[in-house]
Structures are given as structure tokens and as C-alpha cells.
Amino acid sequence: MLTFDENELQWAESIFRKIDAKMEKTLPRTKGVIPYRVENGKFENMVKKNICWWTNGFWEGLLWLLYSRTGKQAYREAAQQGETLLDGAFRNYPRLHHDVGFLWQLSAGLDYKLTGNSESRLRALFAASILMSRFNLDGGYIRAWNDYPDDDTSGWSIIDTMMNLSILYWASKELGDARFARVARAHADKSLHHHLRPDGSSKHIVVYDPQTGEELAERAGQGYACGSAWSRGQAWALYGFVISYHHTDKQEYLDASKRAANFFIASVQEDWLPRCDFRSPEQPVVYDASAGAIAACGLLELATLLPVEEGRCYKQAALHLLREMEAHFCDWNPDSDGILHYGSINYKEPEGRNRYLVYSDFFFTQAITKMLGSDLEIW
């Protein structure tokens, strides 16, 4: 169990109060909206733009985090409204992808855990079945996307999928069906051997031969270049492997998370403000606050699974990230949407840099609630 001193807890309490206050002001502006990023001070509505978009569960997840701590019905009602809107994605099955865990574990999955809603349980089980169906039996990996501009993606697997495996572990326990967990472990094993480099850095996209599972190529994806270290991908690896360890007790996954964590910490400890890619040119400076928020959650989880003395350095690294990002990146203006600024969608697209992103807010809030002792099992 994590422990924090009085000053650390007071700080976390003060930040949560700010989050709650801002979200209370934001909520009336977001009726019928599933947010993604902020445009001109207001959240973009993905219900109208792309109901299948990979981030569409983070808003509901954020609202459930707030509801679980405050008990405010407005958060619950808005989260359930978003969950219902997401049913439109089920009707667009060909456009679904490996991120269905993000969509429905954080919306329907948390609804079921917190309220016992039987319809939410079914939604989450449907999503788990969709994810399991993407597993390539010959190659031993979960396919990321159905399409990509001008590319055959049948052999593509990405490090982000590690975070989606938890819906498979959950479904396996919920149904008493070992197949879901076996697929999750097989994909985690494949990612361990092909995505994570010996130095602890992570590749974003690995291209396999769909018939044999042989690694054919690496792609830069949302990072700077092949061979670089996209920071959000690094955070997915850090957090994703520790989640798989939590569900399996497989030591290799814990060791992989520590390797990824050590690389992340070494790459940010100069000022604790994560760059979008840890192996990109020094100029221009491109931050990605979402990577720091995800990593902070993973580091706190990692610290809980290690002996106190060993876990302390990971806990302190998480605190450094959260404090510095709050000081430099947080926006507490109640008249504008979004909390954590300087998130970057893609290193190579300038218009995707320095953004307010809904998943940045979700993971930042999750990290704060973990500091405050939340026992809500999200993943």
C-alpha cells in the first residue's frame, strides 16, 4: 500500500478540489458531447465527428473517477449519457479497432463496477469479444487497425494495445472463460519480445508477417522516427506491463515495467516535463503532458507491487511528474475546457502539439485519486 506524508496528501487534496471545481463548471457545456481535444476553448464533440475514435471512453472514465470520490449524481448521469452515446460505435463495427478496451472498459466497465448496471456489463463483454477477435492465431498478436492510409495493416501491432488487455483479463474472470486471458498473455508475451528494446525504450509500431509472426519492420508511428522513443508509447509500456503483472503474477512483466520505467525516469529527470519523443532533436521543444500523466499512474502502481524501499524511487518519480506538470501545464480557468495543457497527439504534426486532450485529464485525475487512496480497480 502506498503511503504519503501530510504535505503530499494536502497537495493532492488541493489539486483534486481544483479538478472537481473546474469539472463542475465544464459539465453543463458538454451535454451530448464526448470530448477529445479543445478547439477555441471548448471540447470538440466526437459524437458528431467519429463515434469510433479511440479516446471516446476517457471522458466517461474521468466522470466515474469524480463520481467515485464525490458521489455527485451529475457526474454519474453524464457518464451514463456518454456510455449510451457510445452504442453508436457498436453499429460501426468495421471501424472498430484494438482500443475498444479504452472505449468500453472506462465507460461501461466502470459503470458496472460502481453501479452493477447489467446493460453495462453486456457492453463491456461485447467489447472484450471484439478485442479477442482481433487476435492473429498464426502471428500471436492483436491487430491494431483495420485500415491506415495507403497501407496493409494486417501485420501491424502497437504498444498502446498493452493498456487494452485488461478488459480481456476482466472478461476471463467475469465469465470463467480462460480464452480471454490466454489471448491477453500471448499478446503481452509478443510485445515483451518485440516492442521493448534491451535498453527499456519502446517501439510504437511493429509490423509482423501475418502468417508466421516474424517481425518484418518497425514504424515510427506518432514518434519522431524509427529507433526513437515516443514518450506516450513509453508510458503505455510502463503501465501496460505492470497491469499484466497484476493480473498474472508473471515476473517477466514486472521486470519489463521496471525497465520501461527506468528509461522514462532517466529521460525526464532534468525538469520532469516529458517531451513528446525522448530521442527527438532538442529544438523545437515538443512536450506531451499525457505521457507524464500516464507514466505517473504506472509508476504509482509499480510502487505498490514492490518492497517499500525499492518502490520509493518510483513513487517519488510520479510525484515529481505530477507536481511539475501541475505547476507548468494545468489550466484552472473555469470558463475554458480542459485541465492539462501541452499534450501532443503526434510529433510529426505541428497542429497536434500543445493540446488539451481528454486522456491527459483522465490519467492526471487518476494519479491524484491514487495518491488519495482510491481503491477503484480501473484496469
What's the chain's average pLDDT? 97
Rounded to 10°, the helix 308-329/251-268 angle is 40
The Cα–Cα gap between 193 and 312 comes to 28
Q: What is the pLDDT of residues 88-98, one digit of tens each?
A: 999 999 999 99
| pLDDT given for residue 53 in this prediction | 98
**Which of 111, 160, 277, 288 is the catalytic position?**
160
Task: Give the contacts of 244 (CB within 8 A, at least 6 positions apart).
Answer: 162, 165, 169, 184, 185, 188, 250, 253
Catalytic site residue 189? no
d(CA 77, CA 75): 6
What is the rounded CA–CA span in Å between residue 244 and residue 16? 28
pLDDT digits (tens, 9 = 90+) for 182-207: 999 999 999 999 999 999 999 999 99
For residue 307, give the 3-state DSSP assignment: coil
Instruction: Determine the pLDDT at residue 80.
Output: 98
Q: Which three cell numbers stand for residue 9?
A: 496528501
343 beta partners: 355
For the beta carbon of residue 212, count every other beta carbon within 10 angstroms: 12
- Model confidence at 110, pLDDT cuts 50, 70, 90, reads very high
**What pLDDT score was predicted for residue 150?**
62
Residue 141 and residue 208 in contact, taking contact as beta carbons nearer than 8 Å: yes
Per residue in 280-312, pLDDT (tens digit) is 999 999 999 999 999 999 999 999 999 999 999
**Tell me: the pLDDT tens digits for 321-355?**
999 999 999 999 999 999 999 999 999 999 999 99
pLDDT of residue 148 exceeding 70, the answer is no
Q: Is residue 151 predicted with pLDDT exceeding 80? A: no
| 99 included as an active-site residue | yes
Omega before residue 284 within 30° of 0, cis: yes
Q: Which of 99, 277, 337, 361 is catalytic?
A: 99
In whole angstroms, give the CA distance from residue 241 to residue 230: 17
Q: Would you state the pLDDT for residue 352? A: 93
Q: Which residues contact 375 (CB under 8 A, 6 or more apart)?
A: none
Q: How far is residue 365's CA from residue 357's CA, in Å, rounded to a whole number?
A: 13
DSSP annotation of 143 reads: -
Residue at grid coordinates 479497432 = 97
Domain segments of the chain as ranges: 6-371
Q: What is the pLDDT of residues 3-30, one digit of tens each?
A: 999 999 999 999 999 999 999 999 999 9
Query: Tell me, what's the pLDDT at 149?
Result: 58
Q: Which three cell numbers stand for residue 103?
A: 472505449
**Is residue 147 scored above 90 in pLDDT?**
no
Dihedral, CA atoms, 85, 90, 93, 96, nearest 10 degrees? Answer: 60
Phi and psi angles of residue 328, each rounded to the nearest 5 degrees, phi first = -110, -25
Residue 278 CA to residue 271 CA, distance in Å, equals: 13
39-85 per-position pLDDT tens digit: 999 999 999 999 999 999 999 999 999 999 999 999 999 999 999 99
Q: Which amino acid is at 276?
A: C
Mind listing the pLDDT tens digit for each residue in 157-177?
Answer: 999 999 999 999 999 999 999
pLDDT digits (tens, 9 = 90+) for 259-270: 999 999 999 999
The CA angle 75-79-85, to the nearest 5 degrees, is 150
End-to-end Cα spacing for the chain: 17
- Out of 3.40.50.720, 2.40.50.140, 1.10.1740.10, 1.50.10.10, the CATH code matching 6-371 is 1.50.10.10
Cell 472505449 identifies what position?
103
